Amino acid sequence: MKRHPLTPTRSPAEKAVGEAVVRPDLIERLAARQAQRARAALLRRLRTVESVDGARIVLDGKVLLNFASNDYLGLAQHPALVEALQRAATQWGIGSTAAHLLGGHREAHAALEEKLARWTGRERALLFSTGYMANLGAMQALLGGDPGAHPLQALCVQDKLNHASLIDAARLCGAQLTRYVHADVASAGRQLATQTDAVALLATDGVFSMDGDVAPLAGLAALCKKQHATLMVDDAHGIGVLGEEGAGSLSEAGVAAQHAPVLMATLGKALGVGGAFVAGSAALIDGLVQFARAHVYTTALPPALAAAASAAVDIARFEGWRRAKLARLIAHFRHGAAERGIDLMASSTPIQPVLIGASKAALDATLALEGEGFFVPAIRPPTVAQGKARLRVVLSARHEEQDVERLLNALARAVGRARSER
């Protein structure tokens, strides 16, 4: 039957009222994406560690020497940290029970913030629950503008290999995100020059978590001074490991606080605890207390964790033998790898990646190492670029030279098999 020419057509909204709307099922879409990842040898698997004893873990009933932990100084099980946590838990209980601004901020938090500020040579520090939230909070407060006001014209320039939290933070705060060639100061300068009329933040990792190399911080600081940009450094993998008294990669590079105004670092790697902080001027921290939504609208870190972190800072600062031992292990590993023909990426930090290339080959090498008693997970895309899958070997002060020797021999066999199967 033909429609009368004067009969109006129904709009999509009117059709939806009387007809079932067919939309893709989101859970099914996730399952399809997961299947695709499995076919590409990129599927990730959540595994439960059953116990930890220093550098050894029990996984699936097997005792493995752990070369994946970011516990660089070996503090995660230190008796002083355990005692501090237990004592504070007895005093304060477990949870902080509220956001910092609503009664969750306790003496243990304030004491830790003061200690972190002194250690890093900053006026003030502010605690966050995680490094991800610290980066999000700082960037949103600095670049996000005010709701209802005229949008802020903001530019965020980042290293291509920055941690996902920095990249996500820039996207979420609405800034224009541009990325420069890894560790290339000239490339960063070209990106900053694209918008000279915008407020600009240059953000970089201090130590890059998957490559282990260190950012050219002195050059970036000089560039930011010249281009009137603000430098933000995520020193999650540098704090405790690099610089005088372990004060981090900026200390190692000799960059003063005023030339890198925004410093973020985490408490769950070299310090062995959990949480994060942003350190800087009083004006920066006061501003974050007001405008960093990731700080304002979340429950404060448990006070017992803050107390444990305070104990960790003292050990990290004043027990320099831990960094000295770590440096010896790094040198031993790199020398031994060169002797065995194992190609390492350029890194002077505890992160020592062994580039494999193909994802399946990296996964096979991981399984071979596990069969010999070592836990060295394969790092595959999207964490790293296509064709850049690797074994991420991480050294700790809990390791001994004989542990490193055994790993090197096992690595030589695993890498040799990976090469022969190409």
Same domain, 251 and 280: yes
Unique residue bearing structure tokens 């477990």: 94
Q: How far apart are CA 190 and CA 178, in angstroms?
A: 10
Same domain, 407 and 358: yes
DSSP of 78-99: -HHHHHHHHHHHHHH-S---SB
> What pLDDT score does 43 carry?
84
> What pLDDT score does 46 carry?
87
pLDDT digits (tens, 9 = 90+) for 36-77: 988 888 888 888 999 999 999 999 999 999 999 999 999 999
Does residue 381 sit within a domain?
yes
Query: What's the domain range around 382?
Result: 49-76+320-420
Same domain, 240 and 313: yes
Does residue 242 sit within a domain?
yes
Does residue 396 sit within a domain?
yes
Q: How far apart are CA 307 and CA 80, in angstroms?
A: 10
Q: How far apart are CA 170 and CA 155, in angstroms?
A: 9
The residues that bridge with 393 in the sheet, in sequence order, are 352
- Domain stops at, among 300, 318, 336: 318
- Domain stops at, among 301, 318, 335: 318
Does residue 12 sit within a domain?
no
> What pLDDT score does 416 carry?
83
- Domain stops at, among 275, 297, 318: 318
Same domain, 193 and 246: yes
Same domain, 227 and 333: no
DSSP of 27-54: HHHHHHHHHHHHHTT-------EEEEET
Does residue 176 sit within a domain?
yes
Same domain, 279 and 293: yes
Same domain, 281 and 324: no
Residue 288: other Cβ atoms inside 10 A? 24
- CATH code where residue 324 lies: 3.90.1150.10
Cβ-proximal residues to 317 (8 Å cutoff; 6+ apart), any chain: 119, 245, 246, 247
Within 121-163, where are the H helices? 131-143
Does residue 408 sit within a domain?
yes
- CATH code where residue 242 lies: 3.40.640.10
- The total of structural domains in the chain comes to 2
Same domain, 313 and 324: no
Same domain, 340 and 376: yes
Encoded tokens for 325:
């031992």
The residues that bridge with 176 in the sheet, in sequence order, are 155
Same domain, 121 and 234: yes
Same domain, 308 and 324: no
Segments of the chain with pLDDT less than 50: 1
Same domain, 163 and 72: no
Does residue 14 sit within a domain?
no
Does residue 221 sit within a domain?
yes
pLDDT digits (tens, 9 = 90+) for 20-40: 788 889 999 999 999 998 888
